[in-house]
């Protein structure tokens, strides 16, 4: 085995396998975060058009990264080829692939991409994500009401 430095260790299965619940909630959270960023950018009068454009560009870049990583993690859990994650960004193919990723169950047990996601951890993660979604919606609503 070749010698590697400890800080150069990259986990074998990154992004990790994620279950259907975590995938669905992460997609919802990503959408809510983008909507909150859009509301924030539109309702701050001190921002010039350039500031609004920068905020929206950062929000969309983060959305693309989050969708890609979540899609890859879910494809690992199902056992499908990882290049299918590129299909998430195609108009009608992405919607069909999203439905498949949301409803097709993952492979039980360990695979070449790592251990199966534990349901207990998935539920805890879902609770935290649900809290973040609620907080984002409340923040967006507050900005809309204060406008």
Q: Which residue has the higher pLDDT, 55 or 71?
A: 71
pLDDT (0 to 100) of residue 10: 45
pLDDT (0 to 100) of residue 9: 44
Cα 18 from Cα 28, distance rounded (Å): 15
- Name the pTM for this structure: 0.67
Mean pLDDT of all residues in 57-77: 85
Residue 8 located in a structural domain: no
**Per the structure, how many domains does the chain have?**
1
Residue 6 located in a structural domain: no
Domain span at residue 130 reads: 18-104+118-146
Residue 66 located in a structural domain: yes
134, 140, 141, 145: CA torsion to nearest 10: 160
Residue 43 located in a structural domain: yes
Q: Which residue has the higher pLDDT, 17 or 75?
A: 75
Residue 60 located in a structural domain: yes
pLDDT (0 to 100) of residue 147: 59
Residue 138 located in a structural domain: yes
pLDDT (0 to 100) of residue 106: 83
Query: From the centroid of its chain, how far is CA 26?
Result: 4
In this prediction, residue 69 has a pLDDT band, given cuts at 50, 70 and 90, of confident
Residue 42 located in a structural domain: yes
Using a 10 angstrom Cβ sphere, with 0-12 exposed, 13-18 middle and 19 or more buried, the burial of residue 69 is middle
């Amino acid at each position: 085995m070749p010698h590697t430095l400890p800080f150069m260790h990259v986990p074998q299965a990154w992004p990790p396998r994620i279950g259907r619940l975590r995938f669905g909630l992460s997609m919802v959270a990503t959408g809510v975060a983008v909507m909150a960023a859009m509301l924030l950018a539109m309702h701050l009068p001190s921002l010039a058009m350039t500031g609004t454009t920068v905020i929206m560009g950062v929000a969309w870049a983060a959305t693309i990264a989050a969708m890609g990583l979540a899609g890859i993690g879910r494809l690992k859990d199902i056992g499908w080829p990882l290049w299918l994650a590129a299909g998430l960004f195609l108009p009608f193919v992405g919607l069909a692939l999203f439905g498949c990723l949301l409803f097709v169950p993952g492979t039980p047990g360990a695979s070449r991409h790592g251990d199966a996601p534990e349901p207990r951890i998935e539920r805890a993660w879902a609770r935290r994500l649900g809290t973040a979604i609620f907080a984002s919606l409340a923040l967006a609503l507050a900005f809309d009401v204060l406008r």
